[in-house]
Amino acid sequence: MKKLTLTLALSLCANFAIFAEDDIKASAERGKAVFMQTCMACHQPTGLGIPGAFPPFDGSEYVQGDTKRLVALVIKGYMGPIEVKGQKFNNILIAVDTQFPMLKENAKLADVLNYVRTAWSNKADKAITPEFIQKVRDEFKDRTTPWNAEDLAKAFPAK
């Protein structure tokens, strides 16, 4: 009986792992079309951005790192100096759902983020969910200005 329970538990775990993978894949597939209508114009279809103007997504520590920081960054925007993959930028990202109202829909925003987190050489196996995005929106609901380097580092200290 013990053995049976264990086998059952293990196979359930395996199923969950497969579901998680499918989730991010399916979401990223939907997200590609969203990316083409939104981020692509600046960050480029290659995910490489444009040196001096638009930072890259491919290999970006912001795209690949802490998912809460990524969601917070895109929903509030970012202004001023930022370093991505050793390249410096000093521009502005307007909150993405101000630029593209369709991204007020958490599911659409989750899809596009799952796409950029798995496209090009980026790798992620855990999907960003619409529920997670709502949690981050709630947590930072009082912030009315874009992030800057100092505020972002304070809210998300290096681990």
**Binding residues vs ligand HEC (CB under 6 A):** 38-39, 41-43, 54-57, 60, 62-63, 70, 73-74, 78-80, 82, 84, 89-93, 96, 99, 103, 112, 116
Q: How far is the CB of 62 from ligand HEC (least distance, A)?
A: 3
User: Rounded CA gap, 11 and 42, in Å?
Assistant: 44
Q: How far is the CB of 26 from ligand HEC (least distance, A)?
A: 19
Q: How far is the CB of 136 from ligand HEC (least distance, A)?
A: 13
How far is C-alpha 50 from the chain's CA centre?
20
What is the number of alpha carbons within 13 Å of residue 91 lying toward its C-beta? 16
Q: Give the nearer residue to ligand HEC in terms of CB position, either 11 or 134.
A: 134
**Contact status, residue 117 vs residue 124, Cβ threshold 8 Å:** yes
